[in-house]
Amino acid sequence: MGEVFIWRLFNQLVIRRFVWGEETDRELVEVTLADSSVICQYLEERHPEPALYPRDIAQRARARWLEEFADTRMGEVFIWRLFNQLVIRRFVWGEETDRELVERTLAEDVPAVLDYLESELPPAGYLFGDLSIADVSVACFFRNAAMARFTIDAARWPRTAAFVDRVLGGESFQQLKPFEERLMRTPIPEHRAVLTSMRAPVARETYGTTVPRRGVMRL
């Protein structure tokens, strides 16, 4: 459900308008897709410029692998084991954090992910020349991690730390940052009103409710 809202609605109603200065594709808003990789590929084929994937087929395949690594392994580590435990469980559900799981994740899983990224990421610029799906897929998880008060040890993983700073410091991420920072300080039932007050083009209809609802996954 989150992927549908982020890519189907937020991308069209906020990112295209405020970041790229483009008109919303109303037909695209009516297309329902539920997997981020499928959604991104659909967007690439529907709007090939600016390209989200590298032109070279070998680089494109590599970008898809890094997207998959981020979507699966990094998502498991940074979202479900850190952000979920330290932010969602506490502030959404009012549940206790599993400290043992968090400590094990920080001691074992996070270093393993960062060791791999350190061997793959470039010392300067982006992975494949222009900003691509691979750069965004890797860097965005560290924004969630930062909300859980995690920072990369730049002395141990200097290449990864510098890469994440470059990507998250880009114009697209920076223009969206005020929205996420405001929403992080706002109770969920008030999100829609706050977005409206910030002049974000909210959808006519919403699936939002006054109380949070659990998804199909049980963590």
Return the domain boundaries, the chain.
2-50+189-197, 57-169
The burial class, CB within 10 Å (0-12 / 13-18 / 19+), for 25 is middle
Q: Select from 128, 79, 131 the least CA-distant residue to 102.
A: 79
Measured CA to CA in angstroms, residue 172 lies from 1, 17, 20, 130, 207 at distances of 23, 11, 8, 14, 26
Q: What is the pLDDT along the chain (219 residues), one digit of tens a residue?
A: 344 344 444 555 445 544 455 555 555 555 777 788 888 888 888 888 888 999 999 999 999 999 999 999 999 999 999 999 999 999 888 999 999 999 999 999 999 999 999 999 999 999 999 999 999 999 999 999 999 999 999 999 999 999 999 999 998 888 888 999 999 889 888 988 999 999 887 877 887 777 888 877 666
Rounded Cα distance between 31 and 53, Å, is: 21
Q: What is the pTM of this model?
A: 0.81
* Architecture (CATH level 2) of domain 57-169: Up-down Bundle (1.20)
Instruction: Quote the longest CA-to-CA distance of the chain.
Output: 48
